[in-house]
Amino acid sequence: MAQIIDGKAVSAKVKEQIRKEAAEIKKQGIEIGLAVVIVGNDPASRVYVNNKKKACEEVGFTSYEYTLPEETTESELISLVEKLNGDDRVNGILVQLPLPKHIDENAIINAIRPDKDVDAFHPQNVGHIMIGDFNFLPCTPAGVMELIAETGVEVCGKNCVVIGRSNIVGKPMAMLLLHKHGTVTICHSRTKGLAEICARADILVAAVGKPKFVTPDMVKEGAVVIDVGMDRDENGKLCGDVDYAACFDKAGYITPVPGGVGPMTVAMLMRNTLTAAKIKNNIM
């Protein structure tokens, strides 16, 4: 029977550490600010933005929210980003994705100054992650690494399988596992023998966006199973990429959905924002 990896508990611990550090920095008269930009009224995006605002309050950061209408043009959004780039109150800039279809996400990501790119999506920051010389890590993969560390299972030398190859989760996830000396396989829609590859994994990270995609035959006995998915099942109930109930007895450790990776993503965003403030003020 698996042990549940409690993302809420781990994120609370991370945020408490950040809160203490932020309080010390405040004693030097330094305020830490995060700007969050949301375009349109996507309900899921609104939930995420509210969670980020709440996390800022918890750790003692100032939150600046910019809510723009759906019809905002790409040039208008870039103008706002450039204004925030030059705003000394703002240590981190986050533009909530997805953006409306008429706006090029890459153009917006590229417009954010790399030292304020607390999502770590800018090509410059991606390059630093690739070579292992980074200030920021993408929030979801960084959160996953914290959850794996919480189990006490060493990544070094383990067979690690990542299902999914997105720029936001799959690719950087593989890189972070590689930096910890895991032997990493990335699987995707065209992978042959997917179930067999997954079944050999000591650490399995599912980030494919398909409800209950990972079934017990894909899980090695005693494996660490991390579910990055946020899906809806056939009854409209929130679930992940892993068939949690079916895989529970086979896994050694498993994350629930909700309450697993989700809270960690926000905690890591707070950590990146703190890091940005420390670098700007030469506190590192």
Active site residues: 52, 96, 119
**147 and 186 Cβ atoms separated by less than 8 Å:** no
Q: Count CA within 13 A, CB hemisphere, residue 273.
A: 32
Those residues with Cβ within 8 angstroms of residue 193's Cβ, 6 or more apart along the chain or in another chain: none
Q: Torsion angle of alpha carbons 90, 70, 169, 119, nearest 10°?
A: -10
Q: Torsion angle of alpha carbons 125, 84, 93, 279, nearest 10°?
A: 60
Q: Which two tokens stand for residue 153?
A: 């299972």
Task: Please list, residue by residue across 47-70, b when 16 or more beta carbons sit within 10 angstroms of its beta carbon and e when fewer do.
Answer: ebbeebbebbebbbbebbebebee
Residue 194 backbone dihedrals phi, psi, to 5 degrees: -55, -50
User: Cα angle at 261 between 255 and 264, to 5 degrees?
Assistant: 130
**250 and 270 Cβ atoms separated by less than 8 Å:** no
Amino acid at 55: A
